[in-house]
Amino acid sequence: MDPTPGRFEMDKFDGKGNFGMWKYKLMGQLEIQGSSEVLTEGATLYKSSEKQEEGSAPVLDPIKVAKNVRVKNLLGSCLSDVILRKIMHEETAQGMWKALESDYQTKSLPNRIYLKQIFASYKMEEGKSIEENLDSFLKLIADLASLNIKISDENQAIQVLSGLPAPYEPLVHTIKYGMDKDTITLKEVITSAYAKEVELRQKGLLGGKSKSSSEGLYVENRGRSEKRNDYKGGNNNRSKSRNHDKHRSKSKPKFGPKACWICGDENHWKKDFPKKKGNHHSKPQSSANVATDLPDVIALTISTHDTKEQWVLDSGCTFHITPRRDLLSDFEDVKEGNVLMGNNSVCRVRDKGSITIENQDRTMIILRNVRYVPDMGRNLISYGQLEESGCKYSGGDFKVEFYKGDRKVLVGKYDQGLYYLQGKIRVPESNAAKAVVDMTRVWHSRLAHMSQSSMETLVRKGFLKSGEVKQLGFCEACTMGKSHKQSFKKAKHTTNEILGYVLSDLWGSPNVTPSLSGSRYFLTMIDDYSRKV
C-alpha cells in the first residue's frame, strides 16, 4: 500500500544557506511521501518488465511518471525564483537534482583542498559557546562527507581538542597527558568540553559582557541602624529607607550633617572637596571599584570605557604592557613569556617593542621593552621599569610625577583610584614612497622618441592633453641614437644627375638587429639630386 501523501513543508533554498542540510531535510520529506526513489542514481521512467521483447521500444510507467511530476513540482516549490530559473529547463526531477548538486555540491579538486585546509586549521571562536562552535565543526564534517572524504572519529576528536580556546587549556593537558587510553573519541571530548564550559561560566571566566559595559552591585541594609536619626529627615521606616535616595531632593545632603555631601568623608566639608575645582560632575571615561561605607546603603560600581586608549601608571606591574600592537615600533620576538593576572589566569606575551609618549608640554619620551599582550584589557606603565631606567617619582595633590635627573618625564593624574598618564601615544608612521610619473617622457617614449616640437604640435591638434606635455629633459637613448641632431646645412655644390652627390650617415643604435659580426649600427644614404634615401 502506498503511503498517504501528507503535508509537505520545506524552507526554500536560495543558494546562500547550507545545501547539505537542506538536501538532507528534503530527502527525509520525500521518504515520508514515498517518492525518494525518483532521485536515486539510475532511476528511470520506463517499465522494467522481463516479458518485454528485445528491440521493442521502452514503455513509460505511468506510476513512475506521476511520481516524477510530483517530485519535480515539489522540488520547484522548495527553491527560490533565482535558483529555480537556473534548472527549470530540466525535463525530469532527477535532472533538476543533478543540476543542483553540480552547482552547490561540487566535488572538484580545489573544493576538496579548501575544505581539508579548513579542517586542518580549525579553531573555535572564544566569543561563541561550545554548542555553536561544534555546530560549525559538524557542518564542516558533513561537507567533507558529501565529497566522499571520511574523517575518522579519533581525528575529529583530536581536531576539536586542539581547537579549544585558551580558557580550556587545562582540559586539553588533562586529556592529552592524564588519560590512560590508547585512543580517544569525539564524544569524550565534547562531554568534557561541556562540563568545563559550565565550570568556567560559574567562575566568571567566560565573558558574557563586553569590556565597555557597566556592571553594578546594590546592597540595601534592611536591618536596624546602629544610630537613630543619623541625618536630617532620616527614619527607620523600611519603605522610606529603601527609596530615600531615589526620591531625595537635590538640596538635601546624601550623607550626615558632619560629613562632605559629595564623598561622605568627615575630614572636610563640601566646599573643601579636593576634586571640586576640577570637573567632578563630568562622567569619567573609566572608573575603578569604589566601596563606600554608609549607614543605609552600600554600593559597588564598576564602569569601564575606552580602556585601551588610556595608560595607567601601575606600581604592581612587572613590565610595561599594552594590548595594542599598532602603537609599538622596533619589534623583537618573544619566544616565551606569560603574565599572571590577579585571578590567577595567564596571558601570553607575543612581542615587545617601544612606544613614544608625547607629554602635554610637547616633550617626547620613549618607553622600551613594552610587552605586547593581546588578552590584556588595559595599557600599563610599570613603576619598577621606570625606576630601573633611572627615574624617580614624587606624589601629592592627586598627582604623581616621574623625573630623570632634573627633567620631568611623565605625569600621572589621580582619577577614581588609578593614576592615568597625562599625555598621548604617538602612533608610528610608516614610510610610503609615491612614484611621480613624467607624462612628457612617457609620450616621448611611446611615440618613438618624438621631439618636443612634434609633441607640442599633437597637443595643438588635440591628440594629446595640454597638461601632459611639458619641458622634455635629457634623454640618453636619443643621444645614443642621434635622434636629436642639427639639420644638414644647405649644400654649396650643384649636381646635374642622380648619384652625382650622395650624403651618408653612419650611427650606432641599440635598437637594431645585430650584424653577423655582432655590431649594432644604422647607415643611411641620401641622393642629393633626387633626395631619395
Give the max Cα distance, the chain. 139
Tens place of pLDDT per residue across the chain (533 aa):
344 455 667 778 887 777 778 888 888 888 887 777 778 776 777 776 655 556 566 777 788 888 888 888 888 888 888 888 888 888 888 888 888 877 777 666 777 788 888 888 899 988 889 998 888 898 888 888 877 888 899 999 999 998 999 888 888 888 888 777 788 899 999 999 998 888 888 888 775 443 333 344 444 444 444 444 444 444 444 444 444 444 444 445 555 556 777 777 767 776 677 655 554 444 444 444 444 444 444 444 444 446 777 888 887 788 888 888 888 888 777 766 777 776 667 788 878 888 888 888 888 888 888 888 888 878 888 888 888 888 888 888 888 888 888 888 888 888 888 888 888 888 876 544 455 688 888 888 888 888 888 889 999 988 888 888 888 888 888 877 765 556 666 667 777 888 888 888 888 888 888 888 888 888 899 988 888 88
Spell out where 396-501 has E strands.
399-404, 407-415, 418-421, 423-426
pLDDT for the residue numbered 316: 78
Q: Which stretches of 229-363 are assigned E, i.e. beta strand?
A: 287-291, 297-303, 311-314, 321-322, 329-333, 338-340, 346-348, 351-359
d(CA 100, CA 72): 13
Q: How far apart are the first and last CA of the chain?
A: 101
As a whole number of angstroms, the distance between CA 372 and CA 334 comes to 9
3-state SS class at 174? helix
Residue type, 436: V
**Per-residue pLDDT, 10:** 75
Architecture of domain 311-426: Beta Barrel (2.40)
DSSP β-ladder status, 297-303 and 287-291: antiparallel
Burial 412-440 (b: 16+ CB within 10 A, else e): bebbeebbbbbbebeeeeeeeeeeeeeeb
Look at residue 6 in the predicted model and tell me its pLDDT.
Answer: 55
- Which pLDDT score is estimated for 145? 83
Distant-in-sequence, close-in-space partners of 510: CB < 8 Å, separation ≥ 6:
477, 480, 481, 520
Q: Where are the domains of the chain?
A: 19-48+57-104, 109-202, 254-276+284-298, 311-426, 439-474, 486-533
pLDDT of residue 53: 57
Which H helix or E strand runs over 196?
A: helix 186-202
How many CB atoms sit inside 10 A of residue 268's CB?
A: 13
Measured CA to CA in angstroms, residue 448 lies from 148, 422, 443, 454, 455 at distances of 61, 63, 9, 11, 11
Helix, strand, coil % over all residues of the chain, rounded to 5: 30, 20, 50
| DSSP assignment string, 60-103 | B-HHHHHHHHHHHHHHHHTB-HHHHHHHTT-SSHHHHHHHHHHH
pLDDT given for residue 387 in this prediction: 85
